[in-house]
Structure 1
Amino acid sequence: MKPQAIIFDLDGTLLDTLRDLADSVNEVLEARSFPTHPVLDYRLFVGSGIYKLIERALPEGQRDESLIAECVMECKATYKKNWNRTTSPFPGVAELLDGLTERKIPFAINTNKPQKYADLNVQEFLAKWQFAEVVGQREDMPMKPDPAGPLMICEVMGIDAEACIYLGDSDVDMQTGINSGMTPIGAAWGFRNSDELVQAGAKAVIDHPMELIDVIETFKR
């Protein structure tokens, strides 16, 4: 049976948000006289929500809960002014979403990004396409890799989880797909490499967004 729906991660899968995230965290670190990090280092920091992002960016001896909480609030302020400075869809994403739309395959987003900024990013960069649902980090929904978000999306779409592909660029995404009973597919153009995605349980890893169309057309679960 061919997949009937796609659930996407957002950061590192549909949108290249890394520099805006890195600049926002580095601004907080610099203000506190902590070492900052090269943009590419943030590839290993993102994916598990803002609390984990800050915890990983702080020096090892400065990771107490109260400081992390303060830095999270400060990072929310810096990201508010940085979130759309350099962010853009990855090459091939527009063509993929057009291809899914033409084939009448519904798609949605499940991200650990705060709901407010998930919505803003979709409105700013992906407004052309109709997403069945956008589920971000919010109080009434556990974060990935908990399956609650993806399963709620499937309920909204009226599609069984086993008929859905979960496409993402991190180990968290692969685990989310597995936990949800979906087929996890790795996006190698994102923030992690192919080996990490395979080790995390990816059933396949693709190097370009349009390869997902080929996966759908030749799908064998």
Structure 2
Amino acid sequence: MPSRAIHPALEGIQLVVFDLDGTLIDSVPDLAAAVDSALRDMALPEVGEAAARDWVGNGSRKLVERALQAVGAQDRNLDGAHDIFLHHYRLAPCRATRVYPGVRDALEALAARGVALGLITNKPTAFIAPILACLDLEHYFALTLGGDALSTRKPDPAPLLHLAERLEVAPSACLMVGDSRHDVEAGRRAGFRTLAVPYGYNHGEPVSASEPDVMVESLGELV
């Protein structure tokens, strides 16, 4: 039986770099729970999961900053509030986090084809390995990079170029897969091909407005 034709987005691609939150996993339930726990510790009102869903994507410190602004507590010490958030998130980073449909099939198929896989997230590095291990995803990635690993993070192209250099793949043979304008911008600035999914976290805006090279409804379409 002939093998299925490769998706056009993957033609000539040797390295696929994925965003994590909103692309591979829905982590908002656990992030929102940690935010609300931190706010309770500070005697502030909770914000809830729906609000937090529009604030994810620029790193945990920005998430906490947006929560403080939403409850009118922007004068509070942000570093201290962030530390409280991190404490709660460390306690349960993967209690309600789930892998999106189609993700496992896509990772398995790409790995079987010999395509190198990387992961770049603005999430702090300390949380990447525990979450990937909890969801049984860690074995797919040759390299992972957190938001605090370099001096800059997405939408700066530096993390993408760093990963491509480490894996010795030319940017023109790389694909950036994400759910937000930051992923598309980072990929474009790095000289990567870009692919976006519409179901993630893009601050309430359609990611299609960022004009990625390719849009798919599910990563399962890449199989």
What is the number of residues matched between the two proteins? 212
Match of 1:155 among 153, 165, 172: 165
Q: Is the 8 A contact 1:194 1:205 kept in 2?
A: no
Match of 2:85 in 1: 75
Match of 1:218 in 2: none
Once the two structures are overlaid, the 10-residue window that deviates more, 113-122 or 182-191, is 182-191
For 2:64 and 2:203, locate their aligned partners in 1 and report how far apart those are by CA, in whole Å: 22
Measured against aligned partners, the alpha-carbon deviations of 1:105-158 in whole angstroms (never above 9, x if no partner) come to 111000001101012212222346331110002254411111111111111221
When normalised by structure 1's length, the TM-score is 0.88
- Where in structure 2 are there 5+ consecutive unaligned residues? 1-10
Measured against aligned partners, the alpha-carbon deviations of 1:52-101 in whole angstroms (never above 9, x if no partner) come to 1011111354224x621111000010001120111121111111111101
Query: Are the structure 2 counterparts of residues 8 and 132 from structure 1 closer, same or farther at C-alpha, using a change threshold of 3 Å?
Result: same
Match of 1:63 among 74, 77, 80: 74
Query: Are the structure 2 counterparts of residues 139 and 166 from structure 1 closer, same or farther at C-alpha, using a change threshold of 3 Å?
Result: closer
Match of 1:91 in 2: 101
- Where in structure 1 are there 5+ consecutive unaligned residues? 214-221
Match of 1:45 in 2: 55
Match of 1:145 among 152, 155, 172: 155
For 1:68 and 1:47, locate their aligned partners in 2 and report how far apart those are by CA, in whole Å: 18
For 1:122 and 1:128, locate their aligned partners in 2 and report how far apart those are by CA, in whole Å: 5
Q: What fraction of aligned residue pairs are identical, expressed as a percent?
A: 29
Q: Which amino acid aligns with 2:29?
A: R
- The CA RMSD over aligned residues, in Å, is 2.0
Q: Secondary structure at the match of 1:142?
A: coil
